[in-house]
Amino acid sequence: MKKFLVYTCCMMLAVLTLTAMSGCSKEDDVKIIFTGKTWKMSYIFREGNPKAYVNFWGEDREAEAKSIATQKLDGNYELEFSGTEIDGAFNGSFSGNGVSASFKGTWRADGETRVMSTYDMKWTGIEIDVLAKQFQKAVNTAYKYSGDSRALYLYYKDGEVTYVMALLPKNR
C-alpha cells in the first residue's frame, strides 16, 4: 500500500509538473518568425482562397510569363527583417528587393494580435513589372501577418480586395 501511495504521488507530481511546463501561449514568437532568414515571395492569393490563381495581368500573357520568370530569379522578391522586442511588440528595420527596385524601412509586429505595419519606406528604383508592383504594394501596406518560421503570410488590401502574399525562407 505504501509503495502504491508513493507511486501515485510521484505520478501526480509528474503530471502537474508537465502541465505547468507545457502552458500554451497564444502569442507568436515574432523574432523566430520574422528574423534570421531571407524571405522570398512564393505567390499572392485572395484572402480565404489560397489555391486560386490571381491574374494581375489580364490578357497580357507575355507580361505574365516575364513576371513569373523574374520571380524565380535569385535576389528578386526578397525581404529580410531585424529587430528587438520592446513593450510586447517587435520593432526593427527591414530591407529587400523587388525586380527593379530595392527598399528599406521600419516595421512593427505584435505577436498577440498579429497586427503589423511598415513605415518610413525608402524605395530606390521604380517597379514596372505587374507582379513587382503588387509585391511593392504588399510591403508598403501590410497590416497583419500569420505563419511561422517555415511560411510567412502578409495581408494587404488593394481597393476592396484583401490579398495575402506568401513568403518562404530562401534557403529551406
Type of residue numbered 83: G
Whether 156 contacts 141, CB under 8 Å:
yes
Q: Given this model, what pLDDT does residue 172 score? A: 62
Mind listing the domains of the chain with CATH numbers?
28-169 (2.40.128.270)
Rounded Cα distance between 96 and 102, Å, is: 6
pTM of this structure = 0.82
Across 14-43, average pLDDT: 68
Across 132-145, average pLDDT: 96
Whether 136 contacts 127, CB under 8 Å:
yes
Grid cell for residue 121? 519606406
Across 90-103, average pLDDT: 96
pLDDT digits (tens, 9 = 90+) for 29-81: 888 999 999 999 999 999 999 988 899 999 999 999 999 999 999 999 999 99
Q: Given this model, what pLDDT does residue 24 score? A: 45
